[in-house]
Amino acid sequence: MAGEVTGQIGRGYLVLLGIANDDRQDDLIYLAQKVIGLRIFEDADGKMNLSLADVGGAMLVVSQFTLYGDCRKGRRPSFIEAARPEVAEPLYRSFVAEVRGQGITVETGRFQTEMQVSLVNDGPVTILVDSRKQF
């Protein structure tokens, strides 16, 4: 519905979750645990040393297949590496369930729906996490 807020958090992470063709359940569990454990909030000394749980933060998880847009050829991105919705949605829900199972408050967008997402980026800090690739 236009103008409807489907998920909203205060302090925490906005996770844009892209799921690839070859992602599996264990990839999503790894990613959930990795993201929860990242120490990227500042401590009293201004060092990135605190995790999401340390600061009582929440997570807003938004499905984002366009993260797999390959722009190396031509002028239009190819999304061939992005998982089809029937594969991606259960894995997306699995990620959300894993995060909730670790005691983190989670809000979500609506899967396979065009949304407007607003962000106030504190830092700014933007981290790319992938279960298999080194960057």
- Radius of gyration, CA atoms only, the chain: 15
Class of 12-108 in CATH = alpha beta
Question: Tell me: the pLDDT tens digits for 30-67?
Answer: 999 999 999 999 999 999 999 999 999 999 999 999 88
Domain boundaries, the chain: 12-108
Q: Tell me what percent of the residues of the chain surpass a pLDDT of 70.
A: 96
Contacts of 87 (CB under 8 A, 6+ apart): 19, 21
Catalytic residues: 64-66
For residue 12, give the H/E element and its range. Answer: strand 12-17
d(CA 96, CA 47): 28
Whether residue 111 contacts residue 89, with contact meaning beta carbons closer than 8 Å, is answered with yes
